[in-house]
Chain A
Amino acid sequence: MKRFNDFFGQFGGRYVAEMLRAPLDELEAAFLDALDDASFRDLLALTLRDFAGRPTPLLFAENATRELGGARIYIKLEGLAHTGAHKINNAIGQALLAKRMGKTRIIAETGAGQHGVATAAVCARLGIPCRVYMGAVDMRRQKPNVFWMERYGAEVVAVTGGSATLKDAVNEALRDWAGSFRDTHYLLGSALGPSPYPDMVREFQSVIGKELCGQIEEKGLECAALVACVGGGSNAIGFFSPFLESETPELIGVEAGGRGTGVGEHAARMNGRGQPGIVQGYKSLFLTDADGQVLSTHSVSAGLDYPGIGPQLAHLGTMGRVRFLTASDAEALEAVKFFARMEGMIFALESAHAAAAVMRIARDYPAESSLVVNMSGRGDKDLFILARAMDAEPWAEFLREEAAQ
């Protein structure tokens, strides 16, 4: 896999207003230069080990395997990385790059808040002022993450325009950056946006897949398929990256099926639901109307309700290298419950979409083969959503008592 592609088939590119061209050109050059520098790579590896807690384990889900039947299920525990998700990998990479570029301020967008929390934590450690744009709807859904970002010293700015979710936070970060790029790095959290972001985020997330290669070999697994949830797609593309140019294992992306197939009820862009478009600086598949206006989406998970998909995954899906499935809100909630009971693991609602797909397809694979699901995040952040869905009245009573204190 080349580390800089710009385009992936027909998708990708750098479709931005002229003022953002210079900073993106500068970023591309700095990124490639950093990857060529052994001292940068060493610092990155050290920070991933000591600060993020890598490598993350590969766990055999013995009870789930027995219960479901079919392939052996393994879980890549990215959620055990510091700040609770794979987002820390990219945040560390880009923040170190920003520092190397002499940038003195970092901005980021966040959906579920995991990218914002990761960025805020890394910025705290590196002593870089940080502002995180977050949709007002997402701030309400993921209040604990707002709290943690602020503890790390980040300024969290509510975005009220549009649908007040992730895509609007990206818009606002792009607007900030258009005026601030001289001293500011935009630390984009998913493998999308104008080039070089899709390539850069994949490279920084590829640590997941590289570790997995070693773990598969060490355990002697006959790996039939890798399964990851796909919002923008950063965990999936990093998880899949060492295998993109080979024919095996099967690669499966799981999109948010939400609560139906109608407009605004889901966030599934593949399998003919999205159409080619140019939005937020890149060409890919988007949920848009006949004019090209971006449609509203829905998912129980704030990290999967983005209307576009990273350009490389759109290409891989179109070519057939990655198979796309969906999991509904209800299936994701069931998967959280199932793996909590079976394995003592709480999947983040995003990653639970991948877990739900595994529960559905495990029996389609022979017993001697293995399926590896990426638990891209752990579910601590979803406490309020899960409690409302699973234990509403006692929880509400607790909150009332707490508020009365």
Chain B
Amino acid sequence: MSAPSRIMAHLVAYYPDRAGSLRAARGLADGGCTWLEVQFPFSDPTADGPDIQAACARALEAGFTVKDGFVLVAEICAAVTVPVFVMSYANLLFTRGVGRFLDECHAAGAYGVIVPDLPPDADEGLYAEARARGLAAVPVLSPSISTERLCRAAALDTEYIYATLRAGTTGPRSTVDEATRRFLSSIKEARTTRPAKILAGFGVTSREQVRALESHAHGVIVGSALVREIAGGGDPYALLRARIRELVRP
């Protein structure tokens, strides 16, 4: 028997509502995820597909504010033992001030941050400021990246790197093929300091995809599939605990 798979499980803060998102986080943790990614909803989530867009819109209608988001993150961090990453879009950090946003992440007990539209070299100081606070900022890299930019991103020496398995937005199923494997190994090769923990995501919905990826990545990110799981109603805790159990089972 092999070990259970390592999964970063995604949820949207305040989706389906505040209490529901807290239950979702606990369900994901109790189901056996290794990390939690809590997305702070933004009005214009350009990197997300329809499922997460709809969830973000609903979360904003449910009254999400950044201040309340950090209170929720603190409650999640107190309730689970796995590391929690806050994911959002540039404008929520920029408006608050990147430094202040990261201070609040840190105070809430988050382990790191993921901001896809603040890539290395257009990051408004995100990577340096996160490092100064002991927070793990996770660059999001994609297969279309140039070798030069890949080397520059690798040289940031971050603990984790988020690798999107394909172009496009979150949601539609990705295939794990030779090109995917080449991309993941190119990230490993670009890193000359310590090995990066590569988290592979975008369009992962099944146990088979998780299995196919785990020998090439440190962990696998599951997002839209989990949002879809609770879109139809029902108790997020029970639904997500069951879904993660199925995805991680040895």
* A residues neighboring B (CB under 8 Å): 13-19, 21-23, 25, 161-162, 167-168, 171, 174-175, 178-182, 275-281, 283, 286, 288, 290-294
When distances are taken between beta carbons in the complex, the residues of chain A under 8 Å from B62 are: none
Task: Please provide the chain B residues from 59 to 96 with a CB less than 8 Å away from any CB of chain A in the complex.
Answer: 60, 65-66, 90-92, 94-96
When distances are taken between beta carbons in the complex, the residues of chain A under 8 Å from B50 are: 161
B57 touching A292, Cβ below 8 Å: no
Let me know if B154 is at the binding interface, CB within 8 A. Answer: no
Given A16-B117, A19-B164, A161-B53, A171:B46 Cβ within 8 A: yes
Of the four ranges (under 10, 10 to 19, 20 to 34, 35 or more), the interface on chain B belongs to 35 or more
CB-based nearest A residue for B153: A18
A174 touching B60, Cβ below 8 Å: no
Let me know if B155 is at the binding interface, CB within 8 A. Answer: no
When distances are taken between beta carbons in the complex, the residues of chain A under 8 Å from B142 are: 17-19
Task: Please provide the chain B residues from 133 to 184 with a CB less than 8 Å away from any CB of chain A in the complex.
Answer: 139-146, 149, 153, 164, 166-169
Cα-based distance from A238 to B44 in the complex (angstroms):
28
A292 touching B92, Cβ below 8 Å: yes
A22 touching B146, Cβ below 8 Å: yes
When distances are taken between beta carbons in the complex, the residues of chain B under 8 Å from A280 are: 44, 46
Interface of B is mostly: loop
B57 touching A291, Cβ below 8 Å: no
Can you name 19 extra interface pairs (CB under 8 A) apart from A181-B144, A182-B167? A13-B122, A15-B90, A17-B47, A17-B117, A18-B116, A18-B149, A18-B153, A19-B144, A19-B164, A19-B168, A22-B145, A161-B53, A162-B57, A171-B44, A179-B168, A181-B167, A280-B46, A290-B95, A292-B94
A-B pairs with beta carbons under 8 Å apart, 24 shown: A13-B122, A15-B117, A15-B118, A15-B119, A17-B46, A18-B142, A18-B144, A18-B145, A19-B142, A19-B167, A161-B53, A162-B43, A175-B46, A175-B49, A175-B169, A180-B168, A277-B91, A279-B91, A280-B46, A281-B117, A290-B95, A292-B96, A293-B42, A293-B92
A291 touching B117, Cβ below 8 Å: no
A288 touching B119, Cβ below 8 Å: no
Cα-based distance from A23 to B54 in the complex (angstroms):
27
Cα-based distance from A317 to B143 in the complex (angstroms):
39
Cα-based distance from A168 to B53 in the complex (angstroms):
11
Most buried by A among B42, B60, B122: B122
Cα-based distance from A182 to B143 in the complex (angstroms):
12
Cα-based distance from A173 to B41 in the complex (angstroms):
20
Cα-based distance from A89 to B244 in the complex (angstroms):
53
When distances are taken between beta carbons in the complex, the residues of chain A under 8 Å from B139 are: 18
